[in-house]
Each structure stands twice: as structure tokens, then as C-alpha cells.
């Protein structure tokens, strides 16, 4: 799992938490919970609701078709959804049409998607951390390096999303610093595993 959770938390609890967060987002954005003006349009809430339903469907499909991912991938999908929903609740200005059409949002979402992809790929020449020309890793070590890279890439993506409204300079600095830090941490971790 990309986001390590305590043992007593299982998929049903994460699904329930995600659903509760979505309900809170609906209540807040439709002014039932707050008197403050909401920047989010109904379409964003509908997209979040559709995304929630899609993740429920994906969880069911994975449960039947890919039992090896049954315990990890659905929890990560719901954890990602919960993070995005918490950002929607706490920071609705990020979801205005003006902000949503900027390339910074897409960069953040791409990094979040890469985090999910990197965590679950086996050793291959295309996706995941490729250090074979520098460091030789066995399959187990490669999985651990990919998982660390996925966790750090998730942080890069969230950082990109959160700094989007602050302009290109802040966004660019965040992207450069977090990406560089991710690269250094992964390189150090991989070199320790290779010993």
C-alpha cells in the first residue's frame, strides 16, 4: 500500500470514511454546513461522486479478477480519493474553473497517477524506478524502491495541487524541490538496498 494504514483499518472502514468525506463535501459546498460562499460548482461534486462510484466498481472487479491486488489497490484508490476530498473540503478555491483548467492541476494529477502506477508494477523496462545502469536490485528490493518512489511521488502531486493558486513561480519551485528530493531519497534508498 502506498499509504500505510494501521492494522485495524480495513477496506470497509476506508470506504465508509471516503463516503462520509464526500457527504461532508456535498453539505459544505451546498451551504448546508457553512454560511461561507463556496467556489465549487455542482459539476465538481458530481465528478467526485462519479469517481467514488467508479472506485467502488473497480474494487469489486479487482476483488474477482486480480486477487493479488485485492488487499492493496482498492485501499490506495480510496485513500487517494479521501485525500482529494479533504482538499476539496478544506481548500475549495482549488476547484474553481479558472484553476482547474491550468496545466499545474494536470501536472499534479499526473504525479498522483504515476504514484499509483509505480507502486504496483513488477520489475520491467518501462514503468517504475529505473536505476539498472547505476544500481542492480533484485525483485524484492525493486518493489520496495518503487513503493518509496510512489509514496514520494504522491507527495509531489499533492504539493503541485496545493500550490497551483499561488502562481507559476511557487508551483515551479515546489515541483523542482519535491522532484529533486524524491530522486535523491530513492537513489539513497536503492543504494542501501543494493549492498
Q: How far apart are CA 41 and CA 108, in angstroms?
A: 21
CB 163, CB 171: distance < 8 Å: yes
Q: Within this chain, do residues 77 and 110 fall inside the same structural domain, yes or no?
A: no
Report, in angstroms and rounded to the nearest whole number, the Rg of the chain calculated over CA atoms.
18
SS3 labels along 64-95: HHCHHHCCCHHHHHHHHHHHHHHHHHHCHHHH
Q: What tens-digit pLDDT sequence spans the chain (195 residues)?
A: 777 777 767 778 888 999 999 999 888 877 665 555 455 567 788 889 999 999 999 888 887 777 767 777 888 889 889 989 998 888 888 887 778 788 888 899 899 888 888 887 776 677 667 666 667 777 788 788 888 889 999 999 999 988 988 888 999 999 999 999 998 998 888 888 876
Nearest Cα neighbor of 86 from 73, 99, 95 is: 95
Q: Within this chain, do residues 192 and 171 fall inside the same structural domain, yes or no?
A: yes
Q: Which of 76, 96, 116 is the last residue of a domain?
A: 96
Q: Within this chain, do residues 73 and 109 fall inside the same structural domain, yes or no?
A: no
pLDDT score recorded for residue 85: 93
- The x, y and z cell numbers of residue 112, run together, are 498522483
Q: Within this chain, do residues 87 and 141 fall inside the same structural domain, yes or no?
A: no
Strand ranges for the chain from DSSP E: none
pLDDT score recorded for residue 36: 53
Q: Within this chain, do residues 140 and 121 fall inside the same structural domain, yes or no?
A: yes
pLDDT score recorded for residue 174: 92
Distances (CA, A) of 28 to 16, 35, 70, 93, 100: 18, 9, 33, 13, 19
Domains identified in the chain, total number: 2
pLDDT score recorded for residue 193: 82
- The domain of 175 spans 102-195
- The x, y and z cell numbers of residue 15, run together, are 470506504
CB 166, CB 99: distance < 8 Å: no
Amino acid at each position: 500500500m502506498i499509504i500505510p494504514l494501521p492494522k485495524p483499518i480495513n477496506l470497509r472502514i476506508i470506504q465508509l470514511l471516503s463516503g462520509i468525506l464526500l457527504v461532508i463535501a456535498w453539505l459544505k459546498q451546498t451551504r448546508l454546513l457553512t454560511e461561507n460562499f463556496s467556489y465549487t460548482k455542482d459539476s465538481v461534486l458530481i465528478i467526485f461522486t462519479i469517481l467514488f462510484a467508479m472506485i467502488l466498481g473497480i474494487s469489486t472487479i479487482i476483488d474477482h479478477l486480480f486477487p493479488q491486488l485485492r488487499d492493496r489497490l482498492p485501499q490506495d484508490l480510496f485513500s487517494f480519493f479521501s485525500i482529494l476530498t479533504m482538499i476539496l473540503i478544506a481548500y475549495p478555491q482549488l476547484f474553481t474553473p479558472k484553476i482547474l483548467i491550468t496545466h499545474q492541476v494536470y501536472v499534479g494529477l499526473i504525479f498522483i497517477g504515476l504514484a499509483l502506477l509505480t507502486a504496483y508494477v513488477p520489475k520491467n523496462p518501462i514503468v517504475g524506478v529505473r536505476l539498472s545502469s547505476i544500481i542492480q536490485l533484485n525483485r524484492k528490493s525493486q518493489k520496495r524502491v518503487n513503493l518509496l518512489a510512489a509514496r514520494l511521488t504522491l507527495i509531489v502531486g499533492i504539493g503541485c495541487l496545493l500550490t497551483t493558486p499561488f502562481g507559476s513561480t511557487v508551483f515551479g519551485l515546489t515541483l523542482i524541490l519535491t522532484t529533486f528530493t524524491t530522486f535523491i531519497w530513492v537513489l539513497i534508498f536503492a543504494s542501501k538496498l543494493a549492498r
